[in-house]
Amino acid sequence: MKLLIIGGVAGGATAAARARRLNEDAEIVLFERGEYISFANCGLPYYIGEVIKERASLLVTTVNDFKQRYSIDIRIFSEVTAIDREKKQVAVINLQTGESYHESYDKIILSPGAEPFKPPIDGIDLDNIYNLRNIPDTDRIKAFVDTQQPESAIVVGGGFIGLEMVENLAIRGVKTTIVEKLDQVMPSLDFEMASFMSAHLKEKGVECILGDGIRSFTQNGSRLTVHTENGRKLECDMAILSIGVKPENRLARNAGLEIGTRGGVKVSATMQTSDPNIYAVGDAIEVTDYIFGFNTMMALAGPANKQGRIAADNVMGRRSIFRGTLGTSVVKLFDLTVASTGANESFLVKNNIPFLFSYTHSGSHASYYPGAEMMAIKLFFSPSSGKILGAQIIGKDGVDKRIDVIATAIHGSMTVYDLEELEMAYAPPYSSAKDPVNIAGFVAGNILKGDVGNINWSEMAAIDIDQDILIDLRNKDELVEEGSIEGALHIPLHNLRKRLKELDTDKNYILFCAIGLRGYVGYRIMSQKGFKVRNLSGGYRTFLGAKEKIMAESPNTPLWKAE
């Protein structure tokens, strides 16, 4: 058996190690066009920010260490330029010497990754405009920051890398602005959840220019001028492009392998391409969405590692399958942790999938133990079965633990009723007797059981102000500190029962509090007394996050001036 692995890092290096563990006698050759076969992509921004102090920490393993441990022929600075499927050989060029040669194979595992998307923008190749994909990119950016000590930077794109670069440039004292063509950062989240991130960025002194793209770059002495599509002119010392990535499919396409509709290499559940002797893994392939079975692409290290292992299993005769991806992810943004798994609202709407969702705001641990922080959870579930479809969580402490629990629940085809019953570890420093995951299950279960009728923020612009009466159930001091919704009747929850006689049973009532809990209690009181009532899902806190979008989509709405 002669196995060629084209590309290293998460997919390729994992495949090489697994293949050797399964077959001590196989001839395994790993081609990498760069210098490094296995490095921590996800750690690159933190090295630039000097959170990671040592460059060597980014190297998961060195070429020599990998060779010695696994007895693999590793050829760095070697680019595979073509695959001849009939002759079962590849063309290779040594990028240092220029030498070209051919190498035969029995099987191939492709792991070429993805490359930064580079749109045709005037001036995009000017000096001091950077992409961040690998260690050489990191070295260039860090050298510029170290030696030139820039005062300002523009980060184009508000996804994972863009947000991590914003934080790490800020750590280095660089005044940073995000320019994002969408009306929100972090496109994998829903707008009202992403708004928490935008607000936090502003608190940290980061300007967010949303709903505006880049038209061109021009040089202004040693500085750059960024011209936006909406006519802004932004001056900066450097720019980071984080617009997205596209699969590196050239080698596969030229070899006649089947390419999917999204531009990724099509593979089976065994990671086999349309050629039975060629497998593919990582950012270059199209995979299956775990829940719904749709084709998708997911540039994440976790799935790439698993795919590398699975491809090696199958190459070496051990049946193994990849059952799909949930896209589970987490990102640190200054003091916030932001995580998601499974489907978001736009995906569900686009694919006409029936769904319900709930908002909950829970403490990271017992409120009486010092340091508890609130986390916001948006949970998606099936209206018929209660099966969990996805979740988004934003908070400071314990977010990663909760998203992992929900991702595991989705893998187990669990429902919101199962979340109610999960027995989570509890001690005051770590959680509450009813964990935030349990609370999310309780609230979703209440919706399914008909114990509460909700109105979501997206429906608020369409209410009839002559028939729909808003009641703010918070205490007076909360209104003074946080504001309210104009025109809302203020009845603190503890006074609601004795003031019901003041209310007109012919009207419709919308209850809200800070996070939805008192609204639910108020709903139970009023619904059992014959009132037509709904609870504002997620409360005033969620409403504030979405208020800007409500105003943008319905500018003539006579409500929603938060005082």
CA 325-330-331 angle, 5° bins: 140
247: closest CA among 292, 299, 284, 192?
A: 284
209: closest CA among 193, 237, 229, 191?
A: 229
Cβ(158)–Cβ(180) below 8 Å: yes
Cβ(266)–Cβ(253) below 8 Å: no
Beta bridge partners of 3: 28, 107
The helix or strand, by DSSP H or E, that contains position 274, with its residue range, turns out to be none
**Dihedral sign of CA atoms 279, 67, 112, 346 in order:** positive
**The pair of three-digit structure tokens given for residue 226, joined into one six-digit string:** 């960024």
Distance CA 418, CA 124 (A): 51
Q: Is 513 a catalytic residue?
A: no
- CB neighbours of residue 263 within 10 Å: 15
Using DSSP, state whether 424 is helix, strand or coil.
coil
**CA-based max dimension of the chain:** 90
Distance CA 110, CA 352 (A): 35
Distance CA 63, CA 231 (A): 49
Sheet bearing 295-296, strands edge to edge: 265-266, 285-288, 295-296
Cβ(444)–Cβ(360) below 8 Å: no
176 backbone dihedrals φ, ψ, rounded to 5° = -120, 140
Q: CA dist 145 to 48, 128, 172, 499, Å?
A: 8, 10, 8, 63
Q: CA dist 254 to 189, 265, 266, Å?
A: 36, 12, 14
User: What would the DSSP string read from start to end of 532-552?
Assistant: EEEEETTHHHHHHHHHHHHHH
Distance CA 233, CA 235 (A): 7
Choosing from 42, 208, 236, 513, the catalytic residue is 42
183 backbone dihedrals φ, ψ, rounded to 5° = -90, 15
User: Do the bridges between strand 114-116 and strand 388-395 make them parallel or antiparallel, or are there none, so unpaired?
Assistant: unpaired
Q: Which of the residues are catalytic?
A: 42
